[in-house]
A and B are shown apart, each in its own frame.
Chain A
């Protein structure tokens, strides 16, 4: 038998189809604990590749003979070595091509809604827990919160036969590098971001989002409203489409609220978040579907294959959305925010256009999980 290569897309398709997939992750236990492939029906063990260098048969005890084993490492090299070794012992193996590096660059598009006037697609970058959106109407597209692999959006636009005309970042991202400005440059689209997020930086060309309350996509009037929802950052803006879909950025997640502490002014920003939740968002109906920019847990992917929940469901499952006590709210959201996203200060600088990095440096900076949600239950 030979060791097969499996692309991230193939691996995802199998996990998505509910096939039984067995992953052997051969990275360092620390790296594995910090960040790994997740899936609802996944079986997974972590045995570092260097354990396979010792002639100790015990390492094989945890591995099934009857199931194909997908071997995963950081970039593919160690997984190949281990897979070959397993192959010689009669195991059926394949290697995740490009390892976690490739997994971190895999985007899965899912159509959330499709109608005569408008189509809404969520692009899920699973490894990072990053979600971005394409709103299509009348031959044009609006892209919201594009990640840095802009070819994904261009390919999707091509498949949908539409022209990308508008690009919005709901806020200045701290956990991943934005593709907004680069995508705008490549496509000739307009890039919008709330100007308060730039703090005076003029390194990137952008259109102040606060000067565009409504946007027109194509010839058809899908109603696109830019709603200021400060809190996670002062210029955080949500995009309300047809009064039915709220692209909420990092303001509201399926599992809670965006953390207000990344600017070093947690209590102050928490006040803005309070007003956003109990004034602006309170005015929206329970039926509005909230589509955030991140998810914290694979379980947030719903039965339709996308991450999102109605505002009613989110209100019902998050006590912090119901208790109007301002002081208690502040304590809760400003208090327990946990570890900051890795390299967030540098990423913010890049997204403001103040720091330039190579693709390789960008990859290193982004490695690891997302940490933008407040983890409170």
Chain B
């Protein structure tokens, strides 16, 4: 999947993955896609909560060897 922006939040713990995600999404135009990578397990639930709250769209979520990858389309 092609992303307009890749945000690396690997190795960061809560709340930093969401703080980075928020900054990333703010820099995009409506319809653009952000790819975020994180390793903090606790962020997975929080990320879904944040997406719901902000009205953006989660296109895809995958886990690969302890790395969680989220694709989010800006509303």
Contact = CB atoms under 8 A, between A and B. Distances in A.
Interface string B9-38: 000011110110010000000000000000
A375 interface: no
A29 B15 CA distance: 15
Given A50-B53, A73-B14, A75-B13, 9 more contacts: A30-B45, A31-B45, A48-B50, A49-B15, A49-B46, A50-B18, A50-B22, A50-B46, A77-B13
A49 B53 CA distance: 11
Contact of A48 (B16, B19, B49): B49
B42 A49 contact: no
Q: Which 9 A-B pairs have CB atoms at the shortest separation, nearest pair first?
A: A78-B15, A50-B50, A28-B49, A53-B22, A77-B14, A50-B18, A81-B15, A28-B45, A78-B14
Nearest to A77: B14
Contacts of A28: 45-46, 49
A81 B42 CA distance: 16
B14 to A, nearest CB: 5
Contacts, number: 43
Interface of B: 13-16, 18-19, 22, 42, 45-46, 49-50, 53-54
The prevalent SS among residues of A at the interface is helix
A291 interface: no
B71 to A, nearest CB: 18
A74 B43 CA distance: 11
Nearest to A28: B49
Contacts of B13: 75, 77
Contact of B18 (A29, A31, A53): A53
A73 B16 CA distance: 14
Nearest to B23: A53
Given A75-B14, A78-B15, A50 B42 contact: no
Contacts of A29: 49
Nearest to B48: A28
Contact of A75 (B22, B42, B50, B53): B42
B18 A49 contact: yes
A75 B13 CA distance: 10
A324 interface: no
A51 interface: yes
Interface string A12-42: 0000000000000001111100000000000
Contacts of B50: 48, 50
A30 B45 CA distance: 9
A50 B53 CA distance: 9
A28 B15 CA distance: 12
Contacts of B14: 73-75, 77-78
A49 B50 CA distance: 9
A54 interface: yes
16 contacts: A27-B46, A28-B49, A31-B45, A49-B18, A49-B46, A50-B15, A50-B22, A50-B50, A50-B53, A50-B54, A51-B53, A53-B18, A53-B19, A73-B15, A75-B14, A81-B19
